[in-house]
Amino acid sequence: MLKLALLDIGSNSIHMILTEIQPDFSYKILDRFKDVTRLGEETFKSGQLSPDALARGTDVVKNLATLTRNRGFTRIEAVATSAVREASNGGQLIEAIEQQTGIRVRVVTGQEEARLIYLGVRQSMDFGDRNVLIADVGGGSVELIVGNRNKLLHAASLKLGAIRLKDLYLRPDTTPSAGRLERLKEAVEAQLKAVLPRFKKVGFDDFVGTSGMIGNLAEIMHLHKTDRPIPQLNMARFSFKDVAAAEKLLVKTPLKQRHEIPGVDPKRADVLVPAIIVLRALMERLDIDEITISDKAIREGLLHDFIERHREGIQAEQEIPNVRRRDVLRLARKCQYDPVHTHHVARLCLQIFDQTASAHKLGERAREWLEYAAILHDVGYLINSRQHHKHSYYLIKNCDLVGFTADEIELIANIARYHRKAIPEDDHRTLKDLPPDLRDTLTVLGGILRVGDALDRSHFGVVQSVRCAVSSEAVDISLTATDEAALEIWAARERTDLLGQGLKRTIRFTQTAATEESDA
């Protein structure tokens, strides 16, 4: 299974979820973390993240990264939304996070944020054959999306986030005056008036609200109506009357007493009024009678998007835990390699390597380089069959194989390059970046690959296995074949030059099984 951490750096809170993705692409949420960092505080007025916000954001992500890695999660996908994307110094936060944690944060656009929210909500409920309007009321922005179970139809990102509206229209630490509330409502109405006609035109049958802000409003509405805690947030339903009643309750309650309202999260007490005004105005303008709550949003959307974009890689990771081998096979498949021939050549090469160890004295790492070069030796056919060995060199060298050093990649590329035709010469351009101390290794491994590839000259697997006898003067290679191997023996004899040079011995062949042939 793949262990994945998902980080969402929002304007109000920083969230992280820890997940395990199963081989069948299902997933399990193992843990969730949240810190109300308020990165957006004052940002939408000043246009900058404050020094305190920069420090808070970096420290929270550092702590989450440490916790995550201590639990064995090395893969972290991270996004940042409106506060970071709008702040003139948002790049400072992204840079500080990468320098101090190694996490690369992707700053998403409003449209991309809407798409990810849609993906998250779509997985939490059955849309059936209906179009669904989704509203996510965040700290910096409000995303409106219409979509069905097949695709997103229309989306808009509005600058109506609860922190933004609080900072722009309400005084901190005071109960809002009638005049300030009126100006806030006018700003909300102006933005909704500009975008809602298109949503009406597309059309929708159901209305879904999501985000931590709306989740907290749902808890308040349920307690206000029933005097009982909400049993389940996802799929809970509330009427427009419930929303209007909660707005009235929140507005009339002084800020200092607002946290006493049952269900109010004290850390959100100052931003719930702008949030519910946006929600009520949206429902009122669109004549919406009922809202359904989703407890899934951008983080879950990020997870589903990751699974879809990395489906092949996730499957490969389950099948091939070794990252180096996995990436070699990824490149081979991408280049449309011939797996039957390639893996057969690799097996023959490893047999020769293992049985001539007393002569070459190379270790396990060299054995691995040989196998990977054998798997990739024909990838150059993707470009052109003519001089495909040279094309193989350039593809391997320039494909950024994961988990390999630059010297290792250079060596593997050169082993593949010399599997046919000329042997390495000092003036060859492909050798200029190969460290001198790997030149002898290239001679041995390149020599083995030349012979191994020749022993499957017909690509029919005629030579099943080899047995090598090493003496001080020669290496006698006995071939077990399913049929007459004259072509393979001829080809191998033509390719013994480099291996003979590397092992400082004569290379001879004998076939067993079908016929007996000696190269005396």
Count CA within 13 A, CB hemisphere, residue 351: 21
SS3 category, 468: strand
Does domain 124-295 fall under CATH 3.40.50.620? My reply is no
Alpha carbon 364 to its chain centroid, in Å, reads 31
SS3 category, 2: strand
The domains spanning 124-295 and 322-518 adopt the same CATH topology: no
Residue 479 one-letter amino acid: L
**Would you list the domain boundaries of the chain?**
2-108+303-312, 124-295, 322-518
- What CA–CA distance (Å, rounded) separates 423 from 439? 12
Instruction: Name the superfamily (CATH) of residues 2-108+303-312.
Output: ATPase, nucleotide binding domain (3.30.420.40)
453 Rama class: left (phi>0) / alpha (psi -120 to 50) / beta? alpha
* Order of strands across the sheet that contains 14-21: 27-35, 14-21, 2-9, 75-80, 105-107
Contacts with 248 (C-beta within 8 Å, 6 or more apart), sequence order = none
CA distances (Å), origin 170, targets 181, 261, 273, 312, 437? 7, 20, 10, 50, 70
Q: Span 322-518: which CATH code?
A: 1.10.3210.10
Q: What is the pLDDT along the chain (520 residues), one digit of tens a residue?
A: 789 999 999 999 999 999 998 877 888 999 999 999 999 998 999 999 999 999 999 999 999 999 999 999 988 999 999 999 999 999 999 999 999 999 999 999 999 999 999 999 998 888 988 999 999 999 999 999 999 999 999 999 999 999 999 999 998 767 788 999 999 999 999 999 999 999 999 999 999 999 999 999 999 999 999 999 999 999 999 999 999 999 999 999 999 999 999 999 999 999 999 999 999 999 999 999 999 999 998 999 999 999 888 777 677 666 677 778 888 988 998 999 999 999 999 999 999 999 999 999 999 999 999 999 999 999 999 999 889 999 999 999 998 888 898 899 999 999 999 998 889 998 898 899 999 999 999 999 999 999 999 999 988 899 999 999 999 999 999 999 988 888 999 999 999 999 999 999 999 999 875 444 433 2
Alpha carbon 424 to its chain centroid, in Å, reads 40
Look at strands 142-147 and 132-137 and give their pairing: antiparallel
Looking at residue 195, its pLDDT comes to 97
Any bridge partners for residue 142, and if so which?
137, 158
Strand stretches in 211-367, DSSP E: 237-239, 290-293
- What CA–CA distance (Å, rounded) separates 162 from 279? 11
Residue 477 one-letter amino acid: I
The secondary structure of 335-362, three-state, reads: CCCCHHHHHHHHHHHHHHHHHCHHHHCC
Count CA within 13 A, CB hemisphere, residue 311: 7
